[in-house]
Amino acid sequence: MTDESGEQSPELDTDAGSDCGESAGNNASEAPNSGQSGRRTKGLRTFVAWIPFTVTVTGILLALLNSALTFTDYQLEPLFPYSAARTDHIYPGTFRSSNPHPIETLSTPGIAPATVSVEVVSLDLPARMASTRVSLSLSEEIVQNLRVGKGSERVMESNRASWGDAPVEIQLTTCLTAMPINCGVPVATVPLGKLVGNGGALPQGATVSTSITLPISGSPERYPSDAYYLSVNSPQVTLASNVSLYAKKYKSAFGEARLPTAVNLGIGRGLPDQVATFSESGNMHPRVLALTFERPVLEKATIYLMAMLPLVLGVVVSHISLRRHLASFDLGNAAGLIALILTILPLRSVLMPSDLASIGLTLVDYILIIGVLVMTAMLFVQYAMATTRALRDENLRLADATPPRGA
């Protein structure tokens, strides 16, 4: 405002100067607050950028822990609780023999044993069951000393109708080292008439017409380091109540209608991919026999290498990308890692046998999962580093653009 002479009023000049000073002071006080808010926002963005990487690393640690627990999972030995006095490799189409335990022959000296042959035809690994073919043959000494009734009349001299259908029971107890199935119950029954001919013992014996299923123990979740075993505790052959084993020179019946029994364990030619081992307890313990099935070493090594291959390729690709010190997210590296991740999905169906596909996670699955998580972590760490680097560069630009306070 001016007076009539055109000169400005000194009071208004003072008020204008006061308003400008207050405005400058307010701007100066708001600048630090806005800088602090921006730094908090950038810090939060940096924290959020590293969350996916942290979650993925946690998944890797959990997968490693689960795989270690699976690999070191304790399982009973085939002859538990006894140690093996004899072990021998067995090949498809072959058998290994076990003679009667000395205790079993104390009451039947000089009598050649009956022979039970058990051939493993196929394995149902998820169900932990083995399909077997069982056959039985009697020795000539047993047939010549069989009596009908209480030792009064030889079987060969009596009416065949009185003993031809008499059951001969085969017991293969598996309770000691496997699931409590068939404990004390005959797994097969053969009529005596199919074991004895008109002239004496039939050398080929009799084969059970139906397939016998026996439980096996094992750990399919440790594939390809899985192992399975079929254990048989104190195998025995028992005669019917109206037939006894009697020798004139001993003038008494032998035992309680239980025959001395030799056992042949073998595997069929339909199991060429399995490495089998026969084991037997010693004479100081009850007789326990076992067949252990494992995968060949070369097959296991090949499966492990194939399962780890995507992981190795992902590490190489990421290492090359990280050595470039890129300031931005490398889309080419990301595309390569994503392509490797996608190859893992069909790789499982190639490495995993069809019969084990439904049992859950195995060691191979954990290796593949770790590969996916590691490659995902490499993607996330590059994303987090690029985000952190971009925020840091933005802070530097803002710092350079901000004038000094005294200017």
DSSP of 281-322, one letter per residue? E-TTS--EEEEEEE--HHHHHHHHHHHHHHHHHHHHHHHHHH
β-bridge pairing 212-215 and 129-137: antiparallel
**Mean pLDDT highest for which of 103-107, 124-128, 256-260?**
124-128
In sequence order, what are the beta bridge partners of 244?
Answer: 147
pLDDT class of 119 with cuts at 50, 70, 90: very high
- Residues 278-305 have a mean pLDDT of 89
CA distance 269 to 311: 37
- Residues 286-311 have a mean pLDDT of 90
**8 A C-beta contact, residue 86 and residue 280:** yes
Per-residue pLDDT of 157-181, as tens digits, reads: 888 888 888 899 898 876 644 444 4
The SS3 call for residue 118 is: strand
- Residues 203-226 have a mean pLDDT of 85
The two structure tokens encoding residue 87: 């072990």
pLDDT at 105 over 80: no
CA distance 399 to 393: 10
- Residues 135-153 have a mean pLDDT of 82
The two structure tokens encoding residue 221: 């979740």
Rounded to the nearest integer, the mean pLDDT of the chain is 78
pLDDT at 255 over 80: no
pLDDT at 39 over 70: no
Q: Tell me, what's the pLDDT at 117? A: 92
Q: Which of 165, 211, 205, 216 is nearest to 188 (CA)?
A: 211
- Residues 321-334 have a mean pLDDT of 65
CA distance 203 to 275: 31
Q: Which of 114, 92, 101 is nearest to 206 (CA)?
A: 114
pLDDT at 142 over 60: yes
Question: On the CB side of 17, how many CA atoms lie within 13 Å of its CA?
Answer: 6
Question: What percent of the chain has pLDDT above 90?
Answer: 15
Kindly report the pTM of this predicted structure: 0.74
Per-residue pLDDT of 222-238, as tens digits, reads: 999 888 999 888 888 88
Per-residue pLDDT of 2-36, as tens digits, reads: 454 445 444 444 454 445 444 444 444 444 555 56
Q: Tell me, what's the pLDDT at 137? A: 92
